Structure 1
Amino acid sequence: MVKGIASGVGCSLVPSRLLATAPDPEGDGLSRASPQAAEVDPRAVLDFIDSTFANDLDLHSFMLYRKGNVVAEGWSWPYASHRPHMMHSLTKSVTATGVGLAMDEGYFSLDDSVLDFFPGEQPARLTANLKAMTVKDLLTMQSGHTVSVSGSVFRQIKTSWIDEFFKIPVTDQPGTHFLYSSALSFLLSAIVTRTTKETLRQYLESRLFKPLGITSLTWGSSPNGINSGGNGLTWKTVDSLKLGILHLNGGSWNGKQLISRRWVEEATRTQVSDAQYGYHWWQENAVNAFYAEGAFGQFSIVFPRHDAVLALTAGVQDGEALLKLVWDQFPGAFKGLSSDYRARTEDALAGRIENLRLLPEARATASPTAQEISGRTFVIEPNQDHVSQVSFNFSDGCMTFHQSDHRGDHTVHVGIGNWIESTTGITGNKLHHQYQSENMKVVASGHWWDENTFEMTWQFVESAWVDRLICRFYGDQLSIDRTTNANYASRVQPTLRGKAEKG
């Protein structure tokens, strides 16, 4: 499906203030109120938004909850409230919730040996340190490993991830030092699956997702069908907010105790003092906050003393830079209205929110080169990304980019003078933290820098990523340079070079 998007419409960030006080205007089970009604200083919220853009940090969305209501919210165009967003390691806090529920139901305990859950997958040599590893050691990231494993590593492995876990040397005594690793979260997911006979996604459906009204989530799995645990969860911003609200309220939702208060208190307090880490939840003790964090700026931040939760999605290389801007304004925003508060301050916030957008106005440009190259196939020189050929098909207001590689044939529809939304499976895992999907929503536009240089922008609107491609044409020669905004590996794809086929 290809859908045109008016380039001048900043359909971003609809301020809840304009909704006045309403029980559930968005149909998500949450009521709305104005910042003033919840004693939130709108100037602080405005300053936070301004600071993100002043520091070139792409804020995709935010939702602020206080005293029982959502008081400010929004999505930077082309992001929107209905779109899900990849959450990366924020997933770990969801996994911890599943672990807590399974423990509440008596499936296992903190002190159980990890090995006991996997009698058929144990390595031939069992060291004393491996034998000593417990569920609690996994939850607190104190496994005894000295090698941290990213989800990007496991995603490339097509055999059992449980076997891969047990290949990691347990060099140190478990429980003695902190080392963050997604492998530990995966094994927690596997433990839930082994004991409950359900995947973590299935186990949480009736116990967490359905009561919270979370319906449109997806969660990646290992080759053996075990949810990844440390990452791979995609859901909406409001779902991250609900996760925070649930923990703010001690595991209670609409008067029903979904998870024990005792578990919530233990999970969200500091268990590892030198890391300010609980059971897959981080703490910021200086401001009495705890939070779930995912790569590239995904957050659910809870301020228990202030009865508040802030959920964010973003596309930034350094999530800590975004978090620092949060601490600059929160929880200070909850200390009451600024002395110079006027109605116009709230109006200024609404106006700023209403006009936020990530993508610039699309430029309508032209070049005679477009007609010369349109429909021609460029054969690409051998390259590490296995791209074999590309083509550019120009028509009125649109260019369709085709790429063939080891995964098959892919297209991206690119607006000329506008932005076009379509679905693509184009290869990009090396730039995208080793994530690869066949059905990615992308909003794209292109323009000519000069007669021979064409730039495309691809905003993958259910993730953190925006890619830019510079295509240079020299007679029948072509080069393509592709970069992305955020990645823990290289953000630059090696230059592709090719030559147009004759005929």
Structure 2
Amino acid sequence: MPARPLPSSTPAAQGVDACGVLAFLDALDSAPDIEPHSLMILRHGHLVASGWWAPYTPERPHLLYSISKSFTATAAGIAAAEGLIRLDDPVISYFPELDADITDPRSRAMLVRHVASMASGHESDTLFDARDLDREDLVRGFLLIPPTRDPGTVFAYNQPATFTLSAIVQRASGQSLTEFLRPRLLDPLGIGDVSWLCDRSGRELGFSGLHATTDAVARLGQLYLRGGVWEGERLLPEWWVTEATRPQIPNAGVMPGGDWQQGYGFKFWMSRHGYRGDGAFGQFCIVLPEQDAVIATTADTWDMQALLNLVWEHLLPAFGPAPVTGGEAADEALAERLAGLALPPAAGKPAPPEQAEAWTAAAFTPDGGVCGHVPGLTAIDLEQHTDGWTLTLTEDGHPLRVRLGETGWTVAEEPVPTAVSGGWTDPDTLVVDLAFLETPHHLDVRCSLKDRTFKASWRTDPLHGLPLRAMRAARASV
């Protein structure tokens, strides 16, 4: 059953100056290192602005990276309310099969609240060390690493801490995170299909890997803004919302960027304004209690602080105390602008006629024997059709075929949701932009006819190490 749309309103009616939102969009257009994918703004419980930069669309799930942590924390809050877990229980108490293995007193003293607040006592991320210690059970690998400080005394952004919290919820409930959240959170909020990457044992990662829509992110933010109540129904205990969104552990000087040094709650960051869930490369769920507003974004950028700076510079002042008088023209201009958002396709011309025969059925190998940031990509083959070209990217023996049209973006859903653009920059050079639409990521490909070689590199490096054919949301969802 389709989700009930969020209540909508004009910006002016909710005290939002559309000129500020337009200025934000202008700033994004001028920021060379930020590629926006979506934007939703809620004010006083109403959706006042939303837009997706084509080829991204509202209904498409997007890899949220560490906003996954905020959903995991929400599951923990619900589990705590149901008496399934307790914040002051030792972590080891949920894994009795590990009792004999975990002998370090600090590891044994670690509480649920410590892994919920990135305060396990470790001073750095333990992900790779924990995996080295136990490839099959990340919880065991994590607990085998003795914290250098007492739990609760130091912040470290530590992926296995969140994985352990998610494993506790899954162990205590006997369900996956998605199964647990479906009747308790996702259905009541009107969130449709979601999917989560899993570890080798089938446990959902918790710390990352959630694919969901921007609308889902906005609804989660609105739930927290309303203290855990949605349409008159309490979904989260008020005490959990309070605890999750206040500083549980200081982190000044630990992380780069002013908005990463304001303190950390239960899988929410404190910001210079309000608080937020965030995920790598510009996925944000920004909650502004003083402005009674929620801002959700998806994007592809290394410079997440720059994106937040633009929010503070342009969107924050746009939230006024009263309806905007005479704002109709700006509202209309904003609506028109949002409806026409689009990413420019890669520059290029049609295949040069003098080289058309040479390009047809051409094959390319990696330049210099390596392939940028895609080491398994060993060959690219090109084939011409009446309406464009097919590129076959062979990675570890597995082919991925994508279509390149004559102009603009060519979107395909199978075998992986992609959008492809590009063309010839000169008779001997083909440039292709390959966007994996259910992730933030683009693969830039350059083929040289003269050398019969190619170069391929990610604009931002995917963090899960998945092959190209798996760069999508899983289709089996609860």
> Structure 1 residues 151 and 402 mapped into 2: Cα distance closer, same or farther (>3 Å)?
farther
> Structure 1 residues 379 and 70 mapped into 2: Cα distance closer, same or farther (>3 Å)?
closer
> Structure 1 residues 129 and 153 mapped into 2: Cα distance closer, same or farther (>3 Å)?
closer
Moved more, 381-390 or 60-69: 381-390
Normalising by structure 1, we get a TM-score of: 0.83
> How large is the RMSD of aligned CA atoms in angstroms?
2.6
Matching residue within 294, 298, 308 for 1:313: 298
Is the CA contact (8 Å cut-off) linking 2:37 and 2:56 kept in structure 1? yes
Matching residue within 250, 259, 264 for 2:227: 250
Between the two proteins, the alignment pairs up a number of residues equal to: 446
Name the counterpart of 1:356. 341
Is the CA contact (8 Å cut-off) linking 1:121 and 1:162 kept in structure 2? no
Give the counterpart letter for 1:269 in structure 2: R
Name the counterpart of 2:255. none
Is the CA contact (8 Å cut-off) linking 1:412 and 1:423 kept in structure 2? no
Normalising by structure 2, we get a TM-score of: 0.87
Question: Tell me, which stretches of 5 or more residues in structure 1 are unaligned?
Answer: 1-25, 425-438, 492-503
Q: Separation in 2 of the partners of 1:325 and 1:135?
A: 36
1:19-418 pair list within 5 angstroms: 28-56=4-32, 57-122=34-99, 124=101, 126-149=103-126, 159-274=136-251, 275=261, 276-284=263-271, 286-287=272-273, 289-336=274-321, 342-360=327-345, 363-367=348-352, 368-378=354-364, 383=370, 385-418=375-408
Question: Tell me, which stretches of 5 or more residues in structure 2 are unaligned?
Answer: 252-260, 466-478
CA drift at 1:150: 5.5
Is the CA contact (8 Å cut-off) linking 1:151 and 1:183 kept in structure 2? no
Q: Separation in 2 of the partners of 1:127 and 1:193?
A: 25
CA drift at 1:342: 4.5
Q: Secondary structure at the match of 2:185?
A: helix
Give the counterpart letter for 1:46 in structure 2: L
Q: Secondary structure at the match of 1:170?
A: coil
CA drift at 1:313: 0.8
Post-superposition Cα deviations, 1:213-249, rounded to whole Å, max 9, x if no partner, equal 1112111111111110111001011100000011111
Q: Separation in 2 of the partners of 1:355 and 1:221?
A: 37
Name the counterpart of 2:456. 482
Q: Separation in 2 of the partners of 1:188 and 1:115?
A: 11
Post-superposition Cα deviations, 1:389-429, rounded to whole Å, max 9, x if no partner, equal 331001223111113332522212112224211246xxxxx
The reply to whether residue 419 of structure 1 matches residue 406 of structure 2 is no
> Structure 1 residues 387 and 458 mapped into 2: Cα distance closer, same or farther (>3 Å)?
closer
CA drift at 1:340: 9.2
Q: Secondary structure at the match of 1:416?
A: coil
Q: Give identity over the alignment, percent.
A: 32
The reply to whether residue 446 of structure 1 matches residue 422 of structure 2 is yes
Is the CA contact (8 Å cut-off) linking 2:75 and 2:169 kept in structure 1? yes
CA drift at 1:365: 1.7
Q: Secondary structure at the match of 1:324?
A: helix
Q: Secondary structure at the match of 2:250?
A: coil
> Structure 1 residues 77 and 446 mapped into 2: Cα distance closer, same or farther (>3 Å)?
same
Q: Secondary structure at the match of 1:299?
A: strand
CA drift at 1:84: 1.1
> Structure 1 residues 67 and 356 mapped into 2: Cα distance closer, same or farther (>3 Å)?
same
Is the CA contact (8 Å cut-off) linking 1:364 and 1:418 kept in structure 2? no
